[in-house]
Amino acid sequence: MDASQAPHVLFVEDDEVIREVTQLTLERDGLTVTTAADGMAGLESFRARTPDVVLLDVMLPGMNGVSLCRRIREESLVPVIMVSARDDAVDVVVGLEAGADDYVTKPFDGSVLLARIRAVLRRTTQDRTPQGGAPAGRRARPLRFGDVEIDVDGMRVLRGGRPVALTPTEMRLLLRFAESPGVVLSREVLLESVWDYAYGGDSRLADIHVQRLRTKIGGDRIETVRGFGYKLRAEGE
């Protein structure tokens, strides 16, 4: 693949060895990689050339990874993968609540990191490709669940007539629920269909994104079915 067409990854990591080894690994697999050693340099690199995906270490000098993720989310919906030095629940929760789409834990295997990046790139491509909806030339009727209206063709959500700002991951999650209103979806099903995981992922990904979605469309619209998963309340429930 021509370098100009290769997916562009921005990796912000203060450990020089991890930064260089990861860059070599990803470039060997055909990705273009830009690196930065601290949060402010990462923000400058992001603004200079918007990447296709951003890898952010949680613990960065100056502006930490969580703060940088929030700054990026103020400007862009580009996919963000947090990189944590430990499998710490606080790191994971705070990073995802800041708007990250996924996370990996150090030390990580290069093939695992590459698989996560490829998955998020596939999801981004799918988000840009019209799917479902009405035949060409006709718009699908909006889906309505209480005061929540989903314009599938326009990829837009209203609540009480007001626009709701969703990240691409939150939109995919809502659309997955809308495909099966009233049906309980397990965390495993959500991880596979929303995050494109062909293997078991961390259920916290699903839990935290469901929580974020609830804050935007109404806490009672998505019901927890203890021991099984979640369901979107259908009309009349």
Question: Domains in the chain: how many in total?
Answer: 2
8: number of Cβ within 10 Å = 18
Average pLDDT over residues 30-57: 95
Range in 22-31, 52-61, 157-166, 228-237 the model is least confident about: 228-237
Measured distance CA(18)–CA(150) in Å, rounded? 42
Measured distance CA(83)–CA(69) in Å, rounded? 12
Measured distance CA(101)–CA(76) in Å, rounded? 13
Average pLDDT over residues 55-71: 93
Of 95, 127, 159, which residue sits at a domain end? Answer: 127
Extract the tokens encoding 22.
């990861």
Per residue in 95-151, pLDDT tens? 888 889 998 888 888 888 998 899 888 887 765 544 445 444 556 788 999 899 999
Residues 22 and 76 in one domain: yes
Q: Give the pLDDT confidence score for residue 96 in this predicted structure.
A: 86
Residues 121 and 12 in one domain: yes
Of 127, 157, 182, which residue sits at a domain end? Answer: 127
> What's the CATH number where 87 sits?
3.40.50.2300
Range in 37-41, 92-96, 144-148 the model is least confident about: 92-96
DSSP secondary structure string, 18-40? HHHHHHHHHHHTT-EEEEESSHH
Average pLDDT, the chain: 87
Nearest to 83 by CA among 176, 17, 12: 12
Q: Give the pLDDT confidence score for residue 167 in this predicted structure.
A: 87
- Say which amino acid occupies 2: D
Residues 100 and 158 in one domain: no
What is the three-class DSSP state of 128? helix
Residues 105 and 188 in one domain: no
- Domain span at residue 192? 143-232
Measured distance CA(199)–CA(201) in Å, rounded? 6
> What's the CATH number where 176 sits?
1.10.10.10
In a domain, 206, yes or no: yes
Residues 62 and 158 in one domain: no
Residues 48 and 95 in one domain: yes
Extract the tokens encoding 46.
């992001």
- Say which amino acid occupies 201: G
Measured distance CA(181)–CA(194) in Å, rounded? 16
Of 102, 127, 152, which residue sits at a domain end? Answer: 127
Measured distance CA(173)–CA(195) in Å, rounded? 9
Residues 96 and 149 in one domain: no
Residues 24 and 61 in one domain: yes
In a domain, 220, yes or no: yes
Residues 25 and 73 in one domain: yes
Q: Give the pLDDT confidence score for residue 88 in this predicted structure.
A: 64
Helical segments of the chain, H only: 16-28, 39-48, 65-75, 89-97, 110-128, 168-179, 187-194, 203-217
158: number of Cβ within 10 Å = 16
In a domain, 2, yes or no: no
In a domain, 133, yes or no: no
Range in 49-53, 62-66, 135-139 the model is least confident about: 135-139
Measured distance CA(224)–CA(128) in Å, rounded? 30
Average pLDDT over residues 145-159: 91
Strand 102-105's sheet: what is its strand order?
A: 32-36, 8-12, 53-57, 80-84, 102-105
